[in-house]
Amino acid sequence: MILSCDIGNSSSSFGLFEENGYDIIKTFRIDTAKISSLQDLKKFLSKNISLKDLKAVSVSSVAPSANPLYKEFFAKAKLETFFISPDAKLNVRICIENSGKIGTDRIANVSCAHFSNRKFKIVVDLGTALTIDIVNKNGDFLGGIIYPGLSALADSLYESTEKLPLIKIAKPKTLIGTNTESAILSGIFNGVLFLIKGFIDNICDFYNICGAENLSVIFTGGQSSLVFDDIDVNAEKILDEHCTLKGIKYIYDINKD
């Protein structure tokens, strides 16, 4: 089996795959800060998988400080380990300035999106950050948009004021809040909804790709299911919460030979 690791700034996700194919067998997640030693990592992984069943590990990391620990752990376990970088063999062409600085999670997202078919794709990844990335039908990764995620917006508002409370992110019951908490929730949640829809509509118009026959919009990330049903776009709409993990596995596959 192959283990995909998506090491993020706030949380890290893991997906277990058969050697051939992209049907995910199991996923599990942990706060990135909770893994600070080899023992932490061993205890966490051993609770979720059998290391002896693994053939290889593929890693996307946007937390460079965590990389030495993962490299050392998998080396001691004698597991082939592949860390994704912009210099790896890819099925997309990165058309972005300073491509060496781009997050490998974003590369994994567009790689996953592009291998399924050759339509124009927009990948909306809603987690700690909201990223909206664009890959055309020829596999050109054209760039994207980065914005704070739902929880980051809530944290920022709470930390920047004296009286506003920290809210728990959920789908609001009404557009107009009837108290401080519900007003904040509506502002953050619906604000992000309108922002995502606005960006997608403008991208559609800019590239003249509106319509399900031309464009697929893929929603992924830990909070994507919260917003998916409430965003109406003139495109094919797909919810794939494990797009990043599949992309990490796919990039490993095309680099292993």
Measured N-to-C along each axis, helices 150-159 and 180-207 cross at an angle, to the nearest 10 degrees, of 130
- d(Cα 215, Cα 202) in Å, to the nearest integer? 13
Is position 232 annotated as part of the catalytic site? no
- d(Cα 69, Cα 19) in Å, to the nearest integer? 25
Contact 122, 218 (CB under 8 A): yes
Question: Per residue, what are the HEC states of 113-144?
Answer: HHHHCCCEEEEEEECCEEEEEEECCCCEEEEE
- Cβ contacts of residue 76 below 8 Å, gap of 6+? 38
Contact 119, 216 (CB under 8 A): yes
Chain centroid to CA 37: 25
- Name which of 30, 94, 91, 106 is nearest 66 in CA terms: 30
- d(Cα 257, Cα 248) in Å, to the nearest integer? 16
Contact 231, 137 (CB under 8 A): no
Set 23, 31, 105, 232: catalytic member = 105
| 77: phi then psi, degrees, rounded to nearest 5 | -80, 0
Q: Which residue has the tokens 């495109």?
A: 235
Q: Which residue has the tokens 């004698």?
A: 78
Catalytic positions are 105
